Structure 1
Amino acid sequence: MTTAAPTAPSRVAHRSLWVLQVLLGVFFVVASAAPKFWGDPYAVQIFTEIGAGQWLQYFVGAVELAGGIGLMVPRLAGPAAVGLMALMIGAGYTQAVVLDEPAMVVTPVIIFVLAAVIAWGRRGSIAAWLPAR
């Protein structure tokens, strides 16, 4: 019985993943994390409604910043995508349950799917962080 050798991703797939990583990374750094650090009134309002205090706003901003930067570093792209997927699960739960805004779950779901595509495409970088068996 023979097994097929794993194939390297095509150039188009590799470049497409990089475009997606950079776009999503810039989104997280500029449009998502930065307003949380600047104290944007909308961000302050949302985190006030959550009721956990403003420390959570800065924590989420830091995670988004780290994830956005991580998407643009080859060794970190896969793990960063997985971390952002976890963050989007929390965001979706918070939108649907804590803030009682189920329609707002659409954005975290879309971002989760985009991060999942990156995580799958960069699964080799995830495996590199796992202990060898």
Structure 2
Amino acid sequence: MTSTALSTATAPVVSRRADRALWGLQILLALFYGVASAVPKLVAHSSATVTFDAIGWGHWLMYLTGVLELAGAIGLLVPRLAALAALGLVGVMLGAEVFTWAFLDGVNWATPLIAAAFLGAVAYGRRHTLTVPHRR
């Protein structure tokens, strides 16, 4: 029987400094997505409803986005889920980029890309937590 999980001998070595920097970035991103981004959507704050009204798809998309962002923020703080959460939030940001150009005339177009770059750095830095389960 072979295991597809990385052993300690083949796992990438992350320095303490890099690990702390990643944790700092993860905490900042979790605060941003959990507090500054998800909460206004989930409580239907006027700052969020204006944007989603401009899209014209109804408020279900605003609530879905808020739930995805909150789940991603929580996942960023769980060591085994951090890479997957970051990848999921990259997907949300790429969707935000498409909607920015399609419905909002490209206003603030760089914001989702910058956020996706930071999330990509977290996903890359925590890639060793992504393992393929083996069959029994």
Q: Matched residue pairs, number?
A: 127
Unaligned ranges ≥5, structure 2:
1-8
1:29 aligns with 2:34: yes
Q: How far did 1:132 drift?
A: 3.8
Any conservation in 2 of the 1:82–1:115 contact (CA below 8 Å)?
Answer: yes
Alpha-carbon distance between aligned partners in 2 of 1:56 and 1:7, rounded to the nearest angstrom: 38
Which secondary structure state, in structure 2, belongs to the residue aligned with residue 104 of structure 1? Answer: coil
Aligned partners of 2:103 and 2:42: how far apart in 1? 22
RMSD of the TM alignment (CA)?
Answer: 1.6
Q: Which amino acid aligns with 1:61?
A: G
* CA distance in 1 between partners of 2:83 and 2:71 (Å): 13
TM-score (norm 1): 0.89
Q: Does 1:67 align with 2:76?
A: no
Question: Bigger relative contact order, structure 1 or 2, given CA contacts below 8 A and separation 6+?
Answer: 2
Greater per-residue helix proportion: 1
Does structure 2 conserve the Cα–Cα contact (< 8 Å) formed by 1:88 and 1:111? yes
Question: Aligned partners of 1:114, 1:36: CA distance in 2, in Å?
Answer: 22
Alignment partner, residue 120 of structure 1: 124
Give runs of aligned pairs for residues 1-133 of structure 1, distance below 5 A.
7-100=12-105, 102-125=106-129, 127-128=130-131, 130-132=132-134
The answer (yes or no) to whether the contact 2:11–2:128 under 8 Å persists in 1 is: no
Letter in 2 for 1:71: L
Unaligned runs of 5+ in 1: none
In structure 2, give the amino acid aligned to 1:109.
Answer: L
Give me the identity figure in percent: 45
**Normalised by the size of structure 2, how large is the TM-score?**
0.87
